């Protein structure tokens, strides 16, 4: 692996979440990139309409040059999301990247400021701690971006631990709730 | 595996191989003169098992008094199916009703269908007897009717395998995968290994199968060896089959989380495959 082994964020690691959140608040969104499985591009069979499907990672580019990266991550039975801040836009060699800033969904979000970060937790398997499975950014013009574990089958978003969906619509985020979570993908805001 | 030394005098009525003995299932069918096969003693034992169960004799397995109604429905289906299946065997000898076998099969399977928490082995025997009855029908009477009965019986058999043993039955937390049993009498997988494997071949994106896509993503995380794009499907399927077939693979029931009622198979190298409650492959994982 090219980078430090990914681990999902659990409720026992508030510092990891707090640090990621601190980097985002007040920053302008300037674009986004999707990282795809080796040998594939985006959309390449993934949904590219109101809900985007992403194979590996979502990188939200910020006005300071950093990227807030959301990845699916599995640590044994602990299935969840890993959050990371990358200080440059360096690519991950083994993954293909697609700049999706120009898609209609992202284009409408460019230059908006991140006002709030919210998260949703789940207990993915017996004995696992509460683990992050969805993260929401609320933006200055009232828009929201939700990145959550899942995939689209037919017209339905369903849980999948090793795939991501990007929901741009608040109603869709509020309607998506896997069995193992007590809350929807819209989540609960993190305090300052 | 037994086979005939000379071809079937009836030609290809049993399929492309005229030398095949007992439908290639000698445990369940016998065919002493090559003209027609009938349910073997083993299958008849299965029918009798259904009858004994209905009569109230104790059957080893989980206590299903809590699920009394389901058990009664199960055995009622079995006794009717077994009875008609036996009748069709007898009827064959006198060139009797061709539909009886298929009907017996369907009703026998219906019994298994109703079985939520009853040992799958008993159901499997009676269902096998039902299939035997349908095969007998195919031999002796209308090939078309018989084939339809067989297809339906086998379809119901697969469905009953998926259904049987679930619904909160007392499933052990972990069992060792024998790699041969199509349906575990102890719960766990809801479909035979072949059906579990086949679910990995479903094409989900472009030309990628579910197994291929899963391989691709976990290869991207550095968890699996790199292969070229053309090899993803075969690499994913080979990995899935290796996990399922390895006798040291551990089979673990999934009771909570997002796939309750599902099953996780973890191979001796720690790579696992998770199936949902319908027996559909969902994802690979590494379980140290």
Which residue range forms the structural domain that includes residue A54? 14-189
**How do residues A148-167 score in pLDDT, each as one tens digit?**
999 998 889 999 999 999 99
pLDDT at residue B97, as a whole number? 36
User: What kind of architecture, by CATH, is found in domain B174-286?
Assistant: Roll (3.10)
Contacts of B283 in chain A (CB under 8 A): 160-162
A54: nearest CA partner in chain B = B217
Return per-residue pLDDT of chain B as tens, 288 residues. 444 455 555 444 444 444 454 445 444 445 555 444 444 454 454 455 444 444 444 444 333 334 444 444 444 545 544 554 444 443 343 333 334 444 444 444 444 444 433 444 444 444 444 444 444 333 333 333 433 433 443 444 343 343 333 332 223 344 444 333 323 433 445 568 999 999 999 999 889 999 999 999 999 999 999 999 999 999 999 999 999 999 999 999 999 999 999 999 999 999 999 999 999 999 999 998
Per DSSP, what are the bridge partners of residue A117? Answer: A137
B270: nearest CA partner in chain A = A76
Q: Does A47 touch chain B (CB under 8 A)?
A: no
CA distances from residue A96 to A63, A69, B8, B116 in whole angstroms, order as listed? 23, 15, 58, 47
**How do residues A48-58 score in pLDDT, each as one tens digit?**
788 999 999 99
A158: nearest CA partner in chain B = B258
Min Cα–Cα distance to chain A from B210, Å: 12
CB contact under 8 A, A46 and B255: no
- Alpha carbons B212 and A190: distance in angstroms, whole number: 38
- Give the DSSP per-residue string, B99-149: HHHHHHHHHHHHHHHT-SSS-HHHHHHHHHHHHHHHHHHHHHS-HHHHHHH
pLDDT at residue A9, as a whole number? 97
ipTM of the complex: 0.93
| Cβ atoms of residues A114 and A139 within 8 Å | yes
Q: For A149, how many CA atoms within 13 A lie in the half-sphere containing its CB? A: 30
**How do residues A163-184 score in pLDDT, each as one tens digit?**
999 999 999 999 999 999 999 9
- Alpha carbons A101 and A118: distance in angstroms, whole number: 22
- Alpha carbons B213 and A37: distance in angstroms, whole number: 9
Beta pairing, strands B208-209 & A29-36? unpaired
pLDDT of A26 strictly over 50: yes
Which residues neighbour B226 within 8 Å (Cβ) at sequence distance 6 or greater? Answer: A38, B219
Closest CA to B83 of B101, B57, B58: B101
pLDDT at residue A92, as a whole number? 62
How many domains does chain A contain in total?
1
CB contact under 8 A, B219 and A160: no
Average per-residue pLDDT for chain A: 92
pLDDT at residue B11, as a whole number? 47
Question: Which of B216, B257, B286 comes nearest A124 by C-beta?
Answer: B257
pLDDT at residue A106, as a whole number? 97
Tokens found for residue A151: 């995939």
A·B CB contacts under 8 A: 75
Which residues neighbour A14 within 8 Å (Cβ) at sequence distance 6 or greater? Answer: none
CB contact under 8 A, A76 and B285: yes
- The domain locations on chain B are 22-163, 174-286
Query: Is A3 within a domain?
Result: no
For B37-49, give one letter per residue: b (16+ CB within 10 A) or e.
bbbbebbbebbbb
| Cβ atoms of residues A165 and A153 within 8 Å | no
The three-state DSSP-derived secondary structure of A1-45 is CCCCCCCCCECCCHHHHHHHHHHHCCCEEEEEEEEECCCCCCCCC
Query: Is A106 within a domain?
Result: yes
Cβ-defined contacts of B2-7 (< 8 Å, 24+): B2/B26, B4/B34, B6/B34
Cβ-defined contacts of A102-106 (< 8 Å, 24+): A103/A48, A103/A52, A105/A50, A105/A52, A105/A166, A105/A168, A106/A31, A106/A32
pLDDT at residue B139, as a whole number? 39
The three-state DSSP-derived secondary structure of chain A is CCCCCCCCCECCCHHHHHHHHHHHCCCEEEEEEEEECCCCCCCCCCCECCEEEECCEEEEEECCCCEEEEEEEEECCEEEEEEEEECCCCCCCCCEEEECCCCHHHHCCCCCEEEEEEEEEECCCCCCCCEEEEEEEEECCCCEEEEEECEEECCEEECCCCCEEEECCHHHHHHCCCCCECCCCCCEECCC
pLDDT at residue B161, as a whole number? 40
């Amino acid at each position: 692996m090219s980078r430090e082994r990914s681990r999902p964020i659990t409720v026992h690691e508030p510092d990891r979440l707090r640090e990621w959140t601190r980097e985002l608040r007040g920053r302008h969104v300037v674009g986004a990139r999707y990282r795809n499985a080796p040998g594939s591009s985006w959309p390449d069979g993934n949904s590219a309409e109101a809900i985007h499907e992403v194979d590996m990672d979502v990188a939200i580019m910020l006005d300071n040059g950093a990227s807030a990266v959301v990845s699916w991550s599995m640590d044994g039975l602990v299935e969840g999301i890993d959050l990371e801040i990358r200080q440059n836009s360096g690519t991950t060699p083994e993954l293909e990247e697609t700049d999706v800033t120009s898609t209609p969904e992202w284009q409408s979000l460019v230059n908006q400021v991140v006002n709030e970060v919210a998260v949703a937790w789940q207990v993915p398997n017996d004995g696992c701690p509460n683990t992050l499975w969805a993260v929401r950014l609320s933006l200055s013009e009232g828009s929201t971006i939700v990145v959550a574990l899942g995939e689209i089958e037919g017209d339905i978003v369903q849980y999948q631990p090793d795939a991501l969906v990007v929901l741009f619509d608040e109603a869709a985020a509020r309607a998506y709730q896997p069995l193992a979570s007590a809350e929807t993908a819209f989540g609960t805001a993190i305090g300052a | 595996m037994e086979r005939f030394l000379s071809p079937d005098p009836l030609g290809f009525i049993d399929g492309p191989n005229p030398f095949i003995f007992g439908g290639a299932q000698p445990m369940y069918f016998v065919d002493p003169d090559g003209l027609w096969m009938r349910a073997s003693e083993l299958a008849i034992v299965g029918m009798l098992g259904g009858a004994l169960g209905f009569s109230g004799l104790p059957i080893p397995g989980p206590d299903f008094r809590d699920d009394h109604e389901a058990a009664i429905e199960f055995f009622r289906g079995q006794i009717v199916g077994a009875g008609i299946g036996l009748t069709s065997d007898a009827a064959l000898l006198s060139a009797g009703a061709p539909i009886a076998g298929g009907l017996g099969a369907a009703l026998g399977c219906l019994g298994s269908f109703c079985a939520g928490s009853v040992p799958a082995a008993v159901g499997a025997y009676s269902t096998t007897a039902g299939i035997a009855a349908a095969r007998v029908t195919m031999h002796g009477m209308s090939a078309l009717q018989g084939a339809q009965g067989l297809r339906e019986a086998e379809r119901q058999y697969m469905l009953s395998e998926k259904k049987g043993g679930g619904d909160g039955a007392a499933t052990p937390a972990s069992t060792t995968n024998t790699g041969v049993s199509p349906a575990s009498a102890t719960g766990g997988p809801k479909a035979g290994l072949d059906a579990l494997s086949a679910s990995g071949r479903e094409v989900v994106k472009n030309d990628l199968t579910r197994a291929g896509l899963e391989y691709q993503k976990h290869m991207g995380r550095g968890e699996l060896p790199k292969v070229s794009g053309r090899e993803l499907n075969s690499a994913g399927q080979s990995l899935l089959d290796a996990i399922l077939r390895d006798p040291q693979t551990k089979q673990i029931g999934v009771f909570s989380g997002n796939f309750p009622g599902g099953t996780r198979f973890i191979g001796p190298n720690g790579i696992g495959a998770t199936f949902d409650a319908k027996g559909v492959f969902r994802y690979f994982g590494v379980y140290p």
